[in-house]
Amino acid sequence: MRSRYLQLDVFALRCGGGNPLGVVLDAEHWSTTQMQDFAAWTGLVETTFVLPATEISADYRVRIFTPEREIAFAGHPTIGSAHAVLESRRIVELDRPLVQQCQAGLLPIRVNEAGGRRRLLVRAPAARVLRVGVDGRLSRLLEGIQLGSLPPAFLDGGRRWWVVEFARETDLRAWRPDHAAIAELARESESLGLCIFARGQGRHELIVRAFPAGVGITEDPASGAANGLIAAWIAGREPEGSLAHGYHVSQGREIGHDAEIDVRIEQGEIWVGGAVHTIIAGSVDWPPQERNCA
């Protein structure tokens, strides 16, 4: 049986500037092994599989796979999957948020249409502060860097990240980290790795870079879950600050991308999202039945 398949560019300010995502629709007949094998074959950071919801209040269910394993939540797969559901007309747009079911729970997703463009925002899972401050391996990683006003922190909200504020945007954009050391930090703390941010000027009030060495990625062009944790850290520490109600994020330029992520902070809730472009629309037959792939 064939399934509909979309390949998307998520959080892209321009086509090719965001984070690629594969979405398999009509995945009811796929086994977990087939999902994992296909995600490994695509080589994309994440591939998602859309299924009927098993919770009465959800509109659909998503399973999210990296090339190596299934994960509970990630930002750009969530936003991209919602876009795919709407593009395929699996669900007609509603006068309320969509509700996505995943391993992280039930997540509402707002659909905003303006000027013929759609922007989606997901309410990020609640964040927990696990540790504050610099010590050990993180201290050595940041040697010589002037830090910003917020202290480094280790946060959990669907994914675990270390987040660090740099004092200057120029230092953040020019930084050449020790990726092996980030991988060790991720391994020791059972986290994705390190996410750094600095306050910007003009349209983008925050500049972000993310290094998810914990899942084998050197640098991520657009990170929804990490940006949700950064927003929670800012909102908790600076409830009256200039970023307390939301901002725009620039990410990925250092690796040839140009992602833009919207962050909204409303009564303690963090909403993260942006635009999605459909690049490929077709079907997938996995494993191919007409050939012997053994």
Which pLDDT score, from 0 to 100, does residue 113 have?
81
CA angle 61, 71, 273 (to 5 degrees): 65
Residues 53, 81 within the same domain: yes
Which pLDDT score, from 0 to 100, does residue 117 have?
84
Residues 64, 144 within the same domain: no
Distance CA 125, CA 227 (A): 12
CA angle 83, 283, 275 (to 5 degrees): 20
For residue 294, is it within any domain? no
For residue 289, is it within any domain? no
Which pLDDT score, from 0 to 100, does residue 291 have?
53
Q: What average pLDDT score do residues 67-94 get? A: 89
**Residue showing tokens 């140009």:** 258
For residue 88, is it within any domain? yes
Distance CA 102, CA 63 (A): 6
Looking at residue 286, what DSSP letter applies? S
Which pLDDT score, from 0 to 100, does residue 52 have?
96
Residues 118, 151 within the same domain: no
Residue 114 has pLDDT above 80, yes or no: no
Residues 64, 103 within the same domain: yes
For residue 262, is it within any domain? yes
Question: What does pLDDT average to over the chain?
Answer: 93
Distance CA 177, CA 164 (A): 13
Sign of CA dihedral 270, 164, 198, 47: negative
Residues 224, 280 within the same domain: no
Residues 202, 264 within the same domain: yes
CATH number for the domain that contains residue 34: 3.10.310.10
Residue 245 has pLDDT above 60, yes or no: yes
Residues 98, 152 within the same domain: no
Q: How confident is the model at residue 90 (pLDDT cuts 50, 70, 90)?
A: confident
CA 85 to chain centre: 18
Which amino acid, 36? Q
Which residues have CB under 8 Å from 154's CB, separation 6+? 129, 130, 131, 132, 160, 161, 162, 163, 189, 191
Domain containing 18 equals 3-122+276-284
Question: Looking at the 3D structure of the chain, how many domains does it have?
Answer: 2
Q: What average pLDDT score do residues 171-186 get? A: 96
pTM: 0.92
Residues 86, 140 within the same domain: no
Residue 116 has pLDDT above 80, yes or no: no
Rg (CA), the chain: 19
Q: What average pLDDT score do residues 178-191 get? A: 95
Residue 28 has pLDDT above 90, yes or no: yes
Residues 67, 92 within the same domain: yes
Of residues 115 and 62, which shows the higher confidence score? 62
Residues 136, 195 within the same domain: yes
Residues 257, 150 within the same domain: yes
